[in-house]
Amino acid sequence: MGLAKMQVIRPDVDPEDEAGDVQERVEERPEELRLLEAMLFAASEPLSEKDLAARLPQGTDVADALKRLQQDYASRGVNLVRVAGKWTFRTAGDLSWLLSKETVETRKLSRAAIETLAIIAYHQPVTRTEIEDIRGVSTSKGSIDVLLETGWIKPRGRRKVPGRPLTFGTTEAFLSHFGLDAVGDLPGLEELKGSGLLDGRLPAGFAVPMPSDDPALREDEDPLEPGDLDLGLAPPPERTEKE
């Protein structure tokens, strides 16, 4: 005996009314949010508010629309985040383990390279000699080359002092890798002490500088010249670096 197909209908809900409710909810979602969602979802890299505004209806409050879209996604598996001043969808932080896999690390940053990166991030723009003065040892060409290869630092200009050494600063790739909207989001003194990264017994007057990656050259910097990426990186011969 064949089985008749049955449609289960809730007695208190008219199917046509339920379909109408779904359609109403779709229509209630502002068009600018749907447009933003589509652009950010399809983009291969983070987008700036200027890029987004160029494709939205004239008069759209882009900042407000992004804030509302960010709230919509706050509890979902992907979140809308701002990285280096631009917007992108990323896996929710508490779910990142789902996408992680074991890989063989072919190269690790040395302690010297990590210290060099931290000094550049907090003290930029900074020269190799200034990095050495802070670390107390010579900074080798290798440490800076590794950081240049990662794309986390770049030459900014040349210091207006004898020898005109290169100055270095961090990049958008640095912000993106560490999930920072701006370099000013780096932890301050109290946060570093609380995390155990700084000894609680610090010398009197010790302070962590307020970092800034403003791309505008400072008064003591000249513009870069052709070939500057390959020049001036070798360490002085009188000191050797402890890796």
Res 12: pLDDT: 56
Same domain, yes or no: 115 and 226: yes
Please, what is the end-to-end C-alpha distance for the chain in angstroms?
81
Rounded-to-integer distance, Cα 181 and Cα 236, Å? 36
Same domain, yes or no: 51 and 134: no
User: Nearest CA to 55 among 71, 73, 32?
Assistant: 32
| Domain span including residue 194 | 111-230
Same domain, yes or no: 146 and 203: yes
* Residue where a domain terminates, one of 64, 93, 122: 93
Question: What is the tally of structural domains in the chain?
Answer: 2
Give me the tens of pLDDT residue by residue for the chain, a chain 243 residues long: 444 444 444 555 555 555 444 444 445 778 889 999 999 988 888 899 999 999 888 888 999 999 999 999 988 888 999 888 899 998 887 887 776 655 544 557 888 888 899 999 999 999 999 999 888 887 766 789 899 989 999 999 999 999 999 999 999 999 988 888 889 889 887 777 676 666 656 666 667 788 888 889 999 999 998 877 665 444 444 444 444
Same domain, yes or no: 33 and 141: no
The answer as to whether 8 is a domain residue is: no
Res 14: pLDDT: 56
The answer as to whether 243 is a domain residue is: no
The answer as to whether 197 is a domain residue is: yes
The reported pTM is 0.59
The answer as to whether 181 is a domain residue is: yes
Tell me which residue has tokens 């992907």.
78
The answer as to whether 18 is a domain residue is: no
Same domain, yes or no: 67 and 119: no
SS3 158: strand
Same domain, yes or no: 76 and 159: no
Domain with residue 32: its CATH number is 1.10.10.10
Same domain, yes or no: 59 and 119: no
List all residues 6 or more positions away from 98 whose beta carbon is below 8 Å from its beta carbon: 91
Same domain, yes or no: 89 and 126: no
The answer as to whether 19 is a domain residue is: no
Same domain, yes or no: 88 and 122: no
The answer as to whether 106 is a domain residue is: no
